[in-house]
């Protein structure tokens, strides 16, 4: 059975701190997505990682992919309140399969 495991599931951070969210998956996938969901809102695509070693950055978020380890990370640098949201990773063996999400809260 395909597993997409994110950890932590809940993360409370102080503004200005750094942290990493991890996404492990159990099957081959030629790409990996990260989505953001604000409370009560829809999901929006943040990154798509297409190959082993791929790294993408936007603002305070940086995502990377290690296809050999079946691991992706989403690193948060100097967190700000606006980053508070739930972050999902998703892999695509045949169709898109999502992790359970990491609910991030950034406190002043």
Partner 1 sequence: NAGVTQTPKFRILKIGQSMTLQCTQDMNHNYMYWYRQDPGMGLKLIYYSVGAGITDKGEVPNGYNVSRSTTEDFPLRLELAAPSQTSVYFCASNLQGPTGELFFGEGSRLTVL
In the shown chain, the binding pattern of residues 11 to 50 toward partner 1, with x for contact by CB under 8 A and - for none, equals -------------------xx-x------xxxxxx--x--
Does residue 8 have a cis bond before it (omega within 30 degrees)?
A: yes
Instruction: Give 33 or 106: the residue with its C-beta nearer to partner 1.
Output: 33
DSSP calls for 18-44: -EEEEEEESS--S-EEEEEE-TTS-EE
Residue 1 binding partner 1, by CB under 8 A: no
Residue 101 binding partner 1, by CB under 8 A: yes
Token representation of residue 101:
């999400």
Residue 62 binding partner 1, by CB under 8 A: no
């Amino acid at each position: 059975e395909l597993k997409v495991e994110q950890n932590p599931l809940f993360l409370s951070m102080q503004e200005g701190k750094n942290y990493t969210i991890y996404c492990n998956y159990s099957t081959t996938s030629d790409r990996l997505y990260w989505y953001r969901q604000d409370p009560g809102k829809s999901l929006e695509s943040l990154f798509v990682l297409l190959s082993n070693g791929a790294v993408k950055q936007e603002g305070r978020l940086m995502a990377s992919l290690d296809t050999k380890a079946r691991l992706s990370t989403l690193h948060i640098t100097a967190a700000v309140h606006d980053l508070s949201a739930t972050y999902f990773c998703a892999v695509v063996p045949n169709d898109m399969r999502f992790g359970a999400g990491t609910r991030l809260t950034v406190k002043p």
